[in-house]
Amino acid sequence: MKTIRAARTALVFIFTILAFLTPFPKYASGMDPFSTERLAQPLPHATGDSANPCSGVLVGNAAMSLQDVVDLSLCNNPQTRQAWINARVQAGQVGVAKSTYLPSLTVGGSVSQQTVNGASASTSNNNDVSATLNYLVYDFGQRSANLDSSLQTLYALNETKNATLQAVFLSAVTDYYQFFEAQATVDSSREAERSALESHNAAKRKFELGAATLSDELQAKTAWSQAILTRIQAEGALRNAMGVLANVMGLAPTQNILLAPPSEILPDDRAEQNVGALIEAGIADRPDLQAAKRQTEAARANVEAVKAGGMPTISLSGSLDHATQGTRYPNLGLVTTTTDTQSVALSLTIPLFTGFGTTYRIRTAEEQASLRLAQEEQIKRQVELDVWQAYQNLLTSSQSVKSSADLVASATESEKYIFSRYQKGLQNILDLLTAQSTLESAKQQYIQAVFNWRINKAALAKAMGQLTPESNRPEHGNGKKENIK
């Protein structure tokens, strides 16, 4: 009797504690009793509050540097916010998995009235209040495996968020440099237009003096018109580049943005790096590969959870019930009956046969784990290829900068020399137009080579999973200035 009384007292105590700990759904969303939100990594450069970590990153009136562009893109681009929210959603699932280690408590109640007419007329008022406690004592590791699977999935989403951040980072760097490439192209096309106009004026003067034919003047005028068209197209490309850059920053294309020019550096003559070491670094650091590894671990944990799902479970349950019935009779008056019921039970559940459902669930989970492992291996091979190609592209663009600079220098001297000789009547108009066209082409190649080198440098860092603000600092060049005109 004492044992039963002690069990009832303990049950009442547990009910009371859980009643205070259990929030109503209206207020539950603001609680995080398991501190799962801290498991979801925040966005970088978080200067705002936890609900809006990038609220402090704003577009000001000052010219934005490359770092400013990257910061705003990482905080304001919808892709990064989606990746961050996905991780927070999974953090909630981790909380769900942890909640299975705690008992559940439900309460209920009912009020009813019954009226009987006739010879035995009466009116009954029934009140009932109940509380039920359920607790899973042992399940052969299913809860543990489910929690491990949820955690590994969360870690995978954190790595996926990092991969998204690096992709947006690279897009911001690429679009920033492509804007200034387009701007340099506009400047070069305006210079080409000016040179074409000088050639036309020279041909026109010579024609008026009788030292040249009308054909010379018309060809020079055609080249001038072509230079105007090229300049108009370059200006349109510049406006589009600005719109693309605004988009990656999460802004409207109509947003007025002031940009500070990039540091004027050129590639140095450092020896080639060990591409094998770069590939190993990429395998160690690429967030998408780390995410794939986490997904594999989550799938393996799910196998264990499915296996444990077919094992016996031990549960503890208890209930309290208080019922009051009051019946009023015409002759007897009010008759009240009160009933209090308490129960404690320990139950063992053994799934003997599930129609082979457990067998096939285990087989499905095992194949899913094998699929995740194959996907991990595929991503690993892709990382190796990405690093290899990015490294080769960087080498090619680095060598192209030096070669195209030499080409610009020789084409400039050639154009000056032929223009001087044309004015003296020693060269024809076709020689001059060809020299000017060659010079403009050389300048365009140089512009593309310089900015391709900048972009490829960032692309290699991204391929290695190491794209950070430090990877784009000026000290990564040799300090030699560009001269794009």
In a domain, 331, yes or no: no
Q: What is the pLDDT of residue 58?
A: 58
* 200-214 per-position pLDDT tens digit: 999 999 888 888 889
CA neighbor of 105 nearest in space, from 190, 237, 17: 17
For 375-428, give the secondary structure using H, E and C. Answer: HHHHHHHHHHHHHHHHHHHHHHHHHHHHHHHHHHHHHHHHHHHHHHHHHCCCCC
Distance CA 427, CA 449 (A): 32
Q: For residue 307, is pLDDT > 90?
A: yes
Q: What is the pLDDT of residue 323?
A: 86
* H or E element that contains 136: strand 122-138
Distance CA 198, CA 204 (A): 10
Q: Which of 87-96, 104-113, 378-387 shows the lowest mean pLDDT across its residues?
A: 104-113
Q: Which of 113-117, 203-207, 247-251 shows the lowest mean pLDDT across its residues?
A: 113-117
Amino acid at 10: A
User: 247 lies in which domain range?
Assistant: 32-50+58-100+136-310+354-476
Q: Which pLDDT band holds residue 334 (cuts at 50, 70, 90)?
A: confident
What's the CATH number where 385 sits? 1.20.1600.10
Longest dimension (CA), the chain: 139
Helix (H, G, I), strand (E, B) or coil at 262: coil
In a domain, 262, yes or no: yes
Q: For residue 479, is pLDDT > 50?
A: no
Both tokens assigned to 420: 């001087």
Compute the mean pLDDT over every residue in the chain, rounded to the nearest whole number.
86
Q: What is the pLDDT of residue 350?
A: 92
In a domain, 402, yes or no: yes
In a domain, 342, yes or no: no
* 444-474 per-position pLDDT tens digit: 999 999 999 999 999 999 999 998 755 554 4
Distance CA 378, CA 384 (A): 10
Strand partners, 336: 326
Helix (H, G, I), strand (E, B) or coil at 54: coil
Both tokens assigned to 87: 């991780």
Q: For residue 288, is pLDDT > 80?
A: yes
Whether pTM exceeds 0.85: no
Q: What is the pLDDT of residue 41?
A: 79
Would you give the end-to-end CA distance of the chain in angstroms? 99
In a domain, 130, yes or no: no
Averaged pLDDT for residues 419-438: 91
In a domain, 169, yes or no: yes
In a domain, 24, yes or no: no
* 138-149 per-position pLDDT tens digit: 999 999 999 999
Averaged pLDDT for residues 125-138: 90
Distance CA 297, CA 323 (A): 51
Averaged pLDDT for residues 260-279: 79
Averaged pLDDT for residues 345-349: 92
In a domain, 442, yes or no: yes
Q: Which of 57-71, 259-273, 279-293, 375-389 shows the lowest mean pLDDT across its residues?
A: 259-273
Q: Give the up-direction half-sphere exposure of residue 53: CA atoms within 13 A in the CB hemisphere.
A: 16
Alpha helix positions (H), 256-356: 275-285, 287-309
Q: For residue 477, is pLDDT > 70?
A: no
Q: For residue 237, is pLDDT > 90?
A: yes
Distance CA 90, CA 147 (A): 11
Q: How many folded domains does the chain comprise?
A: 1
Q: For residue 49, is pLDDT > 70?
A: no
Q: For residue 180, is pLDDT > 70?
A: yes
Distance CA 139, CA 101 (A): 11
Averaged pLDDT for residues 350-366: 93
Q: What is the pLDDT of residue 113?
A: 79
Q: For residue 434, is pLDDT > 90?
A: yes
Q: What is the pLDDT of residue 228?
A: 96
